[in-house]
């Protein structure tokens, strides 16, 4: 996908970024690269690329387990890293990646969270930071627009496996939403999740998720996602002490701000007002200000924005949209949901990395075709 921006000479790419080489272990890609990018160096081994001296930065558009392996190799060689989502499959691996980046401060480590460039979600983040709807009481995200038929899973032997892909919808389709959820609402303290494995599909990993989140201080949340809903829903609702934020289809933003905190409005409404309320005689506009806004993002702009920001940070020191260390937050949340389901109990958000890896390796062993993870 990203190479396509360069192939088409996309004018939205800035002057600080240049495609210097492509690496792929698929022999068929070599001829394609020669056709699309005459004279561009092509490598079939990532270590050869990293040691070639041709590139000073890479983007890891590779299978999930390779994100950390290749990322660490790049950083150890002083090469800047823009890591694809998720940062890794399990926290112990991502922690090694982060530790490597700290040992090489001369390098830049960023994570490809392109949804953080989405003006809609940036606006929601701003509203929450400004406490436009008060303190968080409840967050609910139903994101079930990832319908995948069986043929999708049949396309390769590693897909939808514990040893090859590391999981299902939580590590493949939903990482952006997991990142946005904690970026906007904060990290939960506890997680309880019910997952379905192979719901309506011949796969072993999760393709349906129902998770409950405890943010502490009485604030709660729920996260629902799946890949078996052909008429899926995308609705993100945040309820606060002074109003509500609603995002529909990641395009429409509705903000309902109360004229005073809900508890204060409740306390000040006498029985006569309550009767008028029940009879539909109260004008809710006296209590709530509603604003609506539609957002449209041009195709490819989010990804180009991340690429430009990465390059501008390296060249000019521009602040990163998403520092690589932040990549562990969504991975931690996904791990907590998996672990809660496996153990059938509520778990801490900050999961026991050793316990998670042990449980993951049990499932990899049951598949009988992949090496254990470390």
User: Does the pLDDT of residue 341 top 90, yes or no?
Assistant: yes
DSSP 85-131: SSS-SSHHHHHHHHHHHHH-TTS-EEE--GGGG-HHHHHHHHHHHTT
pLDDT at 310: 98
Give the number of other Cβ atoms within 10 Å of residue 338's Cβ.
30
How would residue 97 be classed by pLDDT, with cut points 50, 70 and 90? very high
- 372 lies in some domain: no
Q: Which domain holds residue 251?
A: 118-297+329-367
Clarify whether residues 184 and 287 are in a common domain.
Answer: yes
- The lowest-confidence range among 120-134, 209-223, 257-271 is 257-271
User: Does the pLDDT of residue 300 top 90, yes or no?
Assistant: no
User: Does the pLDDT of residue 213 top 80, yes or no?
Assistant: yes
User: Does the pLDDT of residue 201 top 80, yes or no?
Assistant: yes
Clarify whether residues 293 and 170 are in a common domain.
Answer: yes
Q: How many residues does the chain have?
A: 374
pLDDT at 283: 85
For the chain, what percent of residues have pLDDT higher than 90? 90
Clarify whether residues 306 and 342 are in a common domain.
Answer: no
Clarify whether residues 352 and 221 are in a common domain.
Answer: yes
For the chain, what percent of residues have pLDDT higher than 70? 100
How would residue 338 be classed by pLDDT, with cut points 50, 70 and 90? very high
- Reported as a single tens digit per residue, the pLDDT across 218-232 is 999 999 999 999 999
The domain total for the chain is 2
- The lowest-confidence range among 10-19, 67-76, 110-119, 229-238 is 10-19
Mean pLDDT of the chain: 96
- 373 lies in some domain: no
Clarify whether residues 234 and 131 are in a common domain.
Answer: yes
Clarify whether residues 23 and 79 are in a common domain.
Answer: yes
Nearest-angstrom CA–CA distance, 160 and 66: 16
Clarify whether residues 289 and 304 are in a common domain.
Answer: no
> In which region does residue 348 sit, left (phi positive, over 0), alpha (psi from -120 to 50) or beta (all else)?
beta
Among 5, 3, 2, 60, which Cα is nearest to 34's? 3
Q: What is the mean pLDDT of residues 120-149?
A: 98
- Interhelix angle 327-343/353-367, rounded to 10 degrees, is 70
User: Does the pLDDT of residue 10 top 90, yes or no?
Assistant: no
The enclosing domain of 346 has a CATH number of: 3.30.360.10
Residue 327, Cβ density class (10 Å: 0-12 exposed, 13-18 middle, ≥19 buried): buried
The enclosing domain of 74 has a CATH number of: 3.40.50.720
């Amino acid at each position: 996908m990203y190479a396509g921006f360069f192939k088409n000479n996309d004018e939205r790419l800035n002057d600080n970024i240049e495609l210097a080489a492509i690496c792929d272990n698929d022999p068929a890609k070599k001829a394609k690269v020669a056709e699309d990018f005459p004279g561009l160096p092509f490598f079939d081994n990532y270590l050869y690329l990293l040691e070639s001296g041709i590139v000073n930065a890479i983007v890891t558009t590779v299978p999930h387990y390779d994100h950390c392996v290749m990322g660490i190799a790049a950083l150890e060689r002083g090469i800047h890293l823009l890591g694809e989502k998720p940062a890794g499959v399990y926290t112990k691996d991502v922690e090694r990646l982060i530790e490597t980046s700290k040992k090489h401060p001369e390098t830049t480590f960023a994570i490809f969270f392109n949804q953080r460039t989405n003006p809609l979600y940036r606006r929601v983040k701003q509203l929450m930071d400004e406490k436009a709807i008060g303190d968080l009481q409840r967050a609910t995200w139903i994101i079930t627009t990832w319908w995948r038929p069986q043929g999708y899973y049949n396309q390769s032997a590693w897909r939808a496996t514990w040893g090859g892909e590391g999981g299902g919808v939580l590590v493949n389709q939903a990482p952006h939403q997991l990142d946005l959820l904690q970026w906007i609402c904060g990290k939960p303290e506890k997680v309880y999740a019910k997952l379905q494995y192979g719901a309506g599909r011949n796969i072993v990993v999760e393709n349906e998720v129902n998770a409950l989140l405890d943010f502490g201080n009485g604030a709660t949340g729920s996260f629902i996602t799946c890949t078996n809903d052909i008429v899926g829903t995308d609705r993100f609702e945040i309820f606060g002490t002074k109003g509500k934020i609603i995002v529909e289809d990641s395009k429409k933003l509705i903000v309902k701000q109360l004229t005073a905190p809900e508890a204060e409005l409740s306390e000040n409404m006498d029985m006569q007002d309550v009767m008028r309320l029940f009879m539909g005689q109260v004008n809710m506009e006296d209590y709530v200000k509603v604003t609506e806004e539609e957002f449209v993002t041009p195709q490819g702009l989010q990804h180009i924005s991340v690429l430009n920001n990465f390059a501008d940070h390296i060249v000019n020191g521009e602040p990163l949209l998403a520092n690589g260390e932040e990549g562990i937050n969504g991975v931690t949340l996904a791990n907590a949901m998996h672990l809660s389901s496996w153990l059938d109990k509520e778990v801490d958000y900050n999961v026991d990395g050793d316990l998670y890896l042990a449980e993951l390796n049990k499932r990899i062993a049951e598949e009988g075709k992949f090496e254990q993870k470390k």
